[in-house]
Chains A and B, each alone.
Chain A
Amino acid sequence: MPDDTITRRAVPGQSGGQRPQATREVERYLLPAVDIYETDEGLTIVADLPGVEKHNLDVRVEDDVLTIRGQISHPQRANPAYAEYDLLNYFRQFHLNEEVDQEKIQAETKHGVLTLHVPKSERTKPKRIEVEVKQ
């Protein structure tokens, strides 16, 4: 089941309870914190993925499920004297309720923040209907 519950938030240092569907081995990973908002044009998804370089990000949509994966590229030192977080790979999935135009998804990253623009398909965009007013 895709993770589509708002109650689950990435707390660095704590790992998610589920594992990627495609793999059998148990893997610990972080759930990135996200903001998602909707406009008439589509969805904007903003995710915090500190420690992930652009080329280690994998974003895809399959069967209405959006998957964000990020592999940690940050060189990690061993044996911290004091630790509040544990950097793991990121993984999170969302169900997209509305039809989206997959071809036109735009992604950008800056300072460990991924921004995705997911346009709605033309069919599901709200249509403005002209109302003719007769005198």
Chain B
Amino acid sequence: MWRDWNPLREMQALRSEIDHVFEGFQPGDWSRRLRSVFLPGRSARGYPLVNIYEDSEAIHVEALAPGLDTDSLEVSVKGNTLTLAGEKKPLPEVDDEAYHRSERATGRFARTLQLDSEVDQDNIDARYENGVLMVTLPQSERAKPKKIAVSVE
């Protein structure tokens, strides 16, 4: 059914397929190096993963970004473009042989998002809590829905 076709889900399925291939390829120590070559883009959709919520007052962008070096965290807005950048700190130097699992990606990232509507650039609020980055961008006055009074004769 076309009604049920969801491109996002298709992409997720594809992505998990790719992840599986890489994970199945388990050559111990060099998988770490390989991974670092591909960083920070572990996925086609970029890092960090984001959810966007909208209400009449603001656009809320939430990103899953655990373990960031907070000094490196940068949130900027230019026009309708929001950029999230930062660095996920690597672990202290450990011999590759000592690793039993290495699944967490680390490194620098920058992700740019196009927002649907104009935002009030002077009143943007960004918070980082428990590894989740939350950015609240108030809708600009022009973008807010206007309520028009209907005069009834």
A2: interface (CB < 8 Å): no
A128 to B51 CA separation, bound complex (whole angstroms): 53
Contact B51 A80 (CB under 8 A): yes
Asked whether B19 is an interface residue with its Cβ less than 8 Å from the other chain, the reply is: yes
List residues 13-36 of chain B with CB under 8 A from any CB of chain A. Answer: 15-16, 19-20, 23-24, 26
Q: Give CA–CA (A55, B49) in the complex, Å.
A: 25
B94 and A50 within 8 A (CB): no
Known contacts: A11-B15, A112-B67. The answer to whether A53 contacts B99 by CB under 8 A is no
Task: Indicate whether A34 sits within 8 Å of B103 (C-beta atoms), given known contacts A6-B23, A9-B23, A73-B130.
Answer: yes
Closest to B98 in A: A37
Question: Residue A88 at the B interface, CB < 8 A?
Answer: no
Contact indicator A74/B51 (Cβ below 8 Å): no
Give the residue of B15, B99, B104, B130 whose beta carbon is less than 8 angstroms from that of A111: B130
B128 within 8 A of partner (CB): yes
- B8 contacts partner chain A, Cβ-Cβ < 8 Å: yes
Output the nearest chain A residue to B50 by Cβ-Cβ distance: A84
Asked if A133 is at the interface (CB within 8 A of a chain B CB), the reply is no
Range for the number of chain A residues in contact with chain B? 35 or more
Residues from 21 to 39 in A contacting B, C-beta threshold 8 Å: 33-39
Check: B108 CB closer than 8 A to any chain A CB.
no
Q: Which residue of B lies closest to A110 (CB)?
A: B67
The answer to whether residues A83 and B51 also contact, given A7-B20, A35-B101 and a CB cut-off of 8 A, is yes
Would you mind naming 13 contact pairs between A and B with Cβ atoms under 8 Å apart? A7-B20, A7-B23, A35-B102, A35-B104, A39-B94, A47-B104, A48-B66, A50-B66, A53-B130, A80-B51, A84-B49, A84-B51, A112-B66
Task: Give the interface of B toward A (CB within 8 A).
Answer: 8, 12, 15-16, 19-20, 23-24, 26, 45, 49-54, 59-60, 62, 64-68, 70, 91, 94, 98-105, 116, 128-132
Q: Which residues of A contact B (CB under 8 A)?
A: 6-14, 33-39, 43, 46-53, 73-74, 77, 79-85, 87, 110-113
Known: A10-B103, A34-B101, A77-B62; 10 extra A-B contacts, CB below 8 A, are A6-B26, A35-B104, A38-B100, A50-B131, A82-B52, A84-B45, A85-B51, A110-B67, A111-B66, A111-B130
